Structure 1
């Protein structure tokens, strides 16, 4: 079995020992870089390669800068990469010194490959889980920074560089990118890296608010301002006072609200519904959209003057299919989180061929879709490692063979059923109401494919096909109804009408279930 691919730095002054360790670690599916001494290792960890290592295997006895010296420098430089120390002297005092200096595990030379692999696998899992917990905590407290974002992609490094530059000012930022690429995470990092860090960051999904409530939710209202306004309501702009307001799917705002948003940006004040005078607000605005706002401007759906107010500092986040080098690290972090949340600690790694499968897929739902795929795989897995068999939907989309232990229906019927039997003059004709011969479609089609024939071999009704397509779209886009409607080419009101008509709830399941 091959385990999940990590990036390991081996530090040893003995060339034979370095080569032996390299062979063991690479055989387990990990990527390896070598350092001949402690000074070279420190240089690699604080230089341009600083973010490239998931784990360090460190020899304790080396000339000039020994293992304890490397650990001390790592602590001084605030390098949190987990470390396995190796020593030929297994005295308790050596082990205690190494652990006190920051090492997470130790091995005695010569180390057995099985022992080293167990240590590497456990530390990668713990490191990933700690990283997830740290990110959640920082995002909740408004202290998330760009150093907390998982990426090894040059295109994303450029995004982070732009974000760092923008964080130092209050310039309005427009983040563009497909759904699920991490726009809110970048917004959180901008907020947590600037002068407003630890201040409130208020997030509003403009596409999820009913049109008749948008103005009230954003700008607030006074008591009695309209029917049903039983008490005063503070809007999102006032909630974000002193901090950051993040408007996701800003292109969904109705025209009248766009006018009020423009005034808020120009005058730094808002007009709550029913208020006698405007209210001053101090906020940093970050907007995001999964569409090209300039196209909406050309179509007359978005105000041109507001567009130029929002688009002062544009940041475009590339889709996951254009930065596939991020997939292994993302998959490992999702695996660590979900194995802990689902109380399945035995599911601790992912095979290299499964990672190859994930990297070959184009991920139309981006990081959010990858997250859901790993979540599903962890829930269904009973082994220690995720394999290709745990990603049947991805395998089916790529026409990738999987083992008989986890069957997925073929996208097309067997060869012998694809060809209609030749008619003969002596053969009786089938009556239209009679079931047709087996077509090979009696089993469910894999995710992403739609059957055209029913279990009896007759053409399916259009309404059944449409209902199935809607369920598939809801699952594919994780219940984001704006995106579902957009991809189906219908309006949101039409989508909700069809959900009611077909008895489907917003999770894609039968409402009556």
Structure 2
């Protein structure tokens, strides 16, 4: 089926080569030699274009506003980024910004066409009205926030408190950690839940337009007015230009907004929730952010940890995404996820955080051919993990079977078991190496009552001793306790510290 592809590349020779390769497979290609020209072209043909191929190998690299701008125009169109070998940070920034895939130059024609075909399949799905709800538009409560980790439990607790007041809230954290989800939950739990929730991303709007978009003009209502009586969520507040910062300060101080071209101010009854992925104190010190505005809006800061810092949440997020996307794809039944794949995804650091994980699961569900998700459904993650571990780069390395680390196996197995007791989708309790009982700590007894903490602790210590073959330093480190504490617990539970394997489970 013929599709329309937008190719943005400053290199004329590469542009011609890639255009010819794409057209040879029956697709029509729109070309642009700069990012601004590409964005404008996409704006004119957003309903026809199925995939954007964006080259970021120029000297100035990836413009951080380009992918958000494309998403603002049509969020359902996947963006494939082309970068050079070694440009890891550029690729990570693209993923964080929402890129569907990235290709490393020189790009084999088969790899380019394969990536485009995968992206087109997802775009066709979105056209059929089954696009992922990356930016949730409906009502979201704190029960929708996965909080298996202590870090996210604290976020939920603070969010509930913040919802009971009118003071500004500052959500801090890397791109993709779920700041908008928390903002929507705060709004839904507040007295303003029946009023509008309006969001605006300062990074997705040009500095020349941001004032009119945010505060309004003679011809434009403005986001502040749209949110009247409700909540205004401003993302990437650090990117607000100096004049915009001054006008936002006026709104906070006086409760009034001045529209461009109008002499009389209007009342602004909005609750502010702001988000940033930068250290605003450093921005203040550098003179890029007003100090007076900082102290006005940073009244109730909530920091959302990166996903790599709260791996307990990953299996729960995976199951939630798989269930949601299986439903959206109208599959006969929810896809299962194999334990080895769960371990792979749990071991990965997810530089793009929850957004990257969500995109990876969505891609896997859409492209899945069986009834379960296997490691092979996540080739990019396999390639990155094996590369990080020093594996040989090449087709053989990407095709090799990934062997999860021992701690990843433990984390995934325990979290999988915990998820089954928290109402998550059921899955075969196969565990790793085909064993259901060898590496899963059961939380309840035969009568269905929760077991005593001491029993579970003893079982976990015995399991760790067996898992790490009695290496006491490694056992203590992986359990997060000191060696002296480990030896004391061995004595308490009757395990011989001189021969721990003898009593290990």
TM-score by length of 2: 0.50
CA distance in structure 1 between the partners assigned to 2:195 and 2:136 by the alignment:
11
Question: Is 1:334 the counterpart of 2:321 in the alignment?
Answer: yes
Query: Are 2:167 and 1:183 aligned?
Result: no
* Contact 1:138/1:144, CA 8 A, preserved across alignment: no
Matching of residue 358 in structure 1 with residue 348 in structure 2:
no
Cα drift, residue 344 of structure 1: 3.7
Matched, 1:253 2:240: yes
Indicate which of 356, 381, 392 corresponds to 1:394: 381
Name the stretch that deviates more: 327-336 or 251-260: 327-336
Q: Indicate which of 276, 279, 286 corresponds to 1:292.
A: 279
DSSP 3-state at the match of 2:322: helix
Distance 1:307 1:240 in 2: 22
Structure 1 residue 347: Cα displacement: 5.8
Partner of 1:10: none
| Cross-structure match for 2:95 | none
Q: What are the residue-to-residue correspondences of 1:88-167 with 2, within 5 Å? A: 140-141=137-138, 143-167=139-163
Q: How far apart are 1:150 and its partner, in Å?
A: 1.9
Q: Is the 8 A contact 1:247 1:286 kept in 2?
A: yes
> What's the CA shift for 1:392?
1.4
Measured in 1, the distance between the counterparts of 2:312 and 2:387 equals 20
Match of 2:298 among 301, 311, 327: 311
Given candidates 223, 226, 229, the residue that maps to 1:242 is 229
Structure 1 residue aligned with 2:289: 302
2:368 maps to 1:412: no
Structure 1 CA distance, aligned partners of 2:135 and 2:385? Answer: 37
User: Corresponding residue for 2:308?
Assistant: 321
Find out whether 1:383 has 2:363 as its counterpart. Answer: no
For 2:342 and 2:387, the matched residues in 1 are separated by 13
Residues 246, 138 of structure 1: CA spacing in aligned structure 2 closer, same or farther, 3 A cutoff?
closer
Q: Is the 8 A contact 1:338 1:378 kept in 2?
A: yes
Deviations 1:481-509 (A, max 9, x none): xxxxxxxxxxxxxxxxxxxxxxxxxxxxx
> Residue 178 of structure 1 contacts residue 319 of structure 1 at CA under 8 Å; is this kept in 2?
yes
Counterpart contact for 1:347–1:383, Cα < 8 Å: no
1:345 deviation in Å?
Answer: 3.4
Q: Provide the rounded CA distance (Å) in 2 between the counterparts of 1:372 and 1:303.
A: 35
Asked if structure 2 preserves the Cα contact closer than 8 Å seen for 1:293 and 1:307, the reply is: yes
**Deviating more after overlay: 175-184 vs 342-351:** 342-351
Matches within 5 A, 1:80-91: none
Distance 1:137 1:251, change over 3 A: closer
Offset at residue 339 of structure 1 (A):
2.3
| TM-score, length-scaled by structure 1 | 0.49
Pairing of 1:194-273 with structure 2 (within 5 A): 194-222=190-218, 232-273=219-260
Structure 1 residue 346, shift from structure 2 partner? 5.2
Q: RMSD value over aligned CA atoms?
A: 2.6
Picking from 159, 170, 181, the partner of 2:166 is: 170
C-alpha distance in 2 between matches for 1:347 and 1:195:
36
Deviations 1:138-175 (A, max 9, x none): 9535x422122222111110111111111000011100
SS for the counterpart of 1:175 is: strand
Q: 1:206 to 1:445 in 2, by over 3 A?
A: farther
Aligned counterparts of 2:232 and 2:391: Cα–Cα separation in 1: 46
Asked if residue 374 in structure 1 is aligned to residue 382 in structure 2, the reply is no
Q: CA deviation at 1:245?
A: 0.3
Q: Kindly tell me: are residues 137 and 199 of structure 1, through their superposed partners in 2, closer, same or farther at Cα, counting changes over 3 Å?
A: farther
CA distance in 1, matches of 2:271, 2:250: 15
Q: Aligned equivalents of 1:311 and 1:246: distance in 2? A: 14
Q: For the structure 1 residues 296 and 201, does the alpha-carbon distance in structure 2 shift closer, same or farther, using more than 3 Å as the test? A: same
Q: Which runs of 5+ in 2 are unaligned?
A: 1-129, 400-505
Which position in structure 1 is the counterpart of 2:435? none
Shift of 1:342: 3.1
Where does the alignment leave 5 or more consecutive residues of structure 1 unmatched?
1-132, 223-231, 402-409, 414-440, 448-513
Secondary structure of 2:200's counterpart equals strand
The C-alpha deviation readout for 1:42-61, integer Å capped at 9, x for no partner, is: xxxxxxxxxxxxxxxxxxxx
Q: Distance in 2 between matches of 1:137 and 1:444?
A: 34
